[in-house]
Structure formats: C-alpha cells, structure tokens
Amino acid sequence: MLGKFTSRNDIIPLFKDGMTIMNGGFANKGMPERIIDLVLESGARHLKLISNDTGDPNETVGRLVHEGRIDKVICSHIGMNAETVALYGEGKIEIEFCPQGSLMERIRAGGSGLGGVLTKTGLGTMMQEGKQIIEVDGENYVLETALRADISMVRCRMADPLGNLAYRGTSRNTNALVAMAGDITIVDADLLVEMDEIGLDHIHTPGVFIDKVLAD
C-alpha cells in the first residue's frame, strides 16, 4: 500500500483500554463510522470520548456508549441520545459539558500546541466551577484548557496517499480541528485518490496531521 493507506488489521490493535479518543462529526453527519466499527472490534473499554455529541445509540459514536465502552464524555450536549441521558442520570457515565464554541476552541488549542484559551462564555455561571479565572486588562475570563486525544478519528470526502484531506460541504464540521489534535489521527475517507488528484487549492487538512487512512 502507498504512503499512509493502512489496512483495518493494522489499525484495530492501536485501540487500548483507558485511551482518550476524539471523533469528528456533528449530529451524525461527518462521523467516522468505519473507524468506530474498528474501535468496537478492538474490544477496548474504559475509554474517554471527546466529541461534539454522542449521536444516536444505533449508529455512529452512539454505539460506543450503547456497548458500554465509554466511561467519560467531554461534549457540548447529549440530548440526541436518550441512552446517554439515562446512563448519566444513573451515574454510570461521567459527562463534562462544555459550550460548543469553547469545546472547538479547546480542540483547536490542543492541535496548535497552546495550553488553552480565555473566554467569557460561562463566566458567572455553573460552567466556571472548578476552572481558573484570569484577569486581563481589568476583565475576567474563564481559562478553558486544551484538549488532545491518544487517537483522533476523522471522516473526509477524499484522501490521497500522503494523507491530504478534502471535505464535502457541512460534513467538514468539526473534522478539520479534530484531525490536528490527536497523537495518532486515523481517517475514514469516502474516496481514496491518487497523488495530486485533490489539488493544492482544495486541500483542507494537510497530510502532516494524518497518520493513517483506512484503506479497506
């Protein structure tokens, strides 16, 4: 296989118990479904999940919750998944809620080598509990710390052998940020294309951020 195109059998062993995993996608759109299949096949448990939401229990990342693989989720909401809501109410899963914009900024900071971001979002509310408040020029801000994962899972429209990615429409959503914030980033691509087929002006995520592209 050329470049970063990788077989499923080489990807499955990468998932280990206790890992932090992060996935792109928004409301079941742009979710790396085939990589989620591999997480399930790996048998990995006690995972921490960083995700905008937990999707539907019967598809995408919601299947990890349904199968009891997730101990903690860092997300912006869980309202789409009644199973997550029930587990949270029963104390069987830990949820760290974060405002959606702040969540994306934390992921961006993690991918950019920053320690975190300062924001007024959540200031003076329960969202600031346990967080550091920093004063800048007489104004108070909440410090939202950066987020990274052991493995980031990304969905794109096209990927080439160097790992350059192009997304399609709104399925780009959180994927471009998530791709930057993993110690290992694995891609589920709709189309595997030849070198230079994407075109320099249409590359949304450079291959330098990508480690492996699922090829089968």
Measured distance CA(8)–CA(15) in Å, rounded: 12
pLDDT in tens, the chain (216 residues): 468 999 999 999 999 999 999 999 998 889 999 999 999 999 999 999 999 999 888 888 999 999 999 999 999 999 999 999 999 999 999 999 999 999 999 999 999 999 999 999 999 999 999 999 999 999 999 999 999 999 999 999 999 999 999 999 999 999 999 999 999 999 999 999 999 899 999 999 999 999 999 998
Residue 133 CB coordination number (10 Å): 12
Give the tokens for residue 109.
């900071």
Q: What is the pTM of this model?
A: 0.95
Instruction: Give the distance from CA 64 to its chain's centroid.
Output: 14
CA distances, 63 to each of 28, 124, 171 (Å): 12, 35, 20
Q: What CATH homologous superfamily does 5-114+146-214 map to? A: Glutaconate Coenzyme A-transferase (3.40.1080.10)
Helices (H), the chain: 8-11, 33-42, 62-66, 82-89, 100-112, 175-178
Q: What is the pLDDT of residue 2?
A: 67
Measured distance CA(91)–CA(128) in Å, rounded: 22
Q: Could you give the dihedral angle defined by the CA atoms of residues 206, 208, 209 and 213, in that order, rounded to the nearest 10 degrees? A: 80
Report how many helices (DSSP H) and strands (DSSP E) the chain contains, helices first.
6, 12
Q: Are 189 and 214 in contact (CB under 8 A)?
A: yes
Q: What is the pLDDT of residue 1?
A: 43
Q: What is the residue whose two structure tokens read 């934390």? A: 106
Measured distance CA(125)–CA(171) in Å, rounded: 32
Domain boundaries, the chain: 5-114+146-214
Q: What is the DSSP string of 141-173?
A: EEEEE---EEEEEEEEEEE-TT--EE--GGGGT
Q: What is the pLDDT of residue 57?
A: 83
Measured distance CA(99)–CA(97) in Å, rounded: 7
Q: What is the pLDDT of residue 56?
A: 85
Q: Which residues pair with 165 in a beta bridge?
A: 159, 205
Measured distance CA(11)–CA(17) in Å, rounded: 15
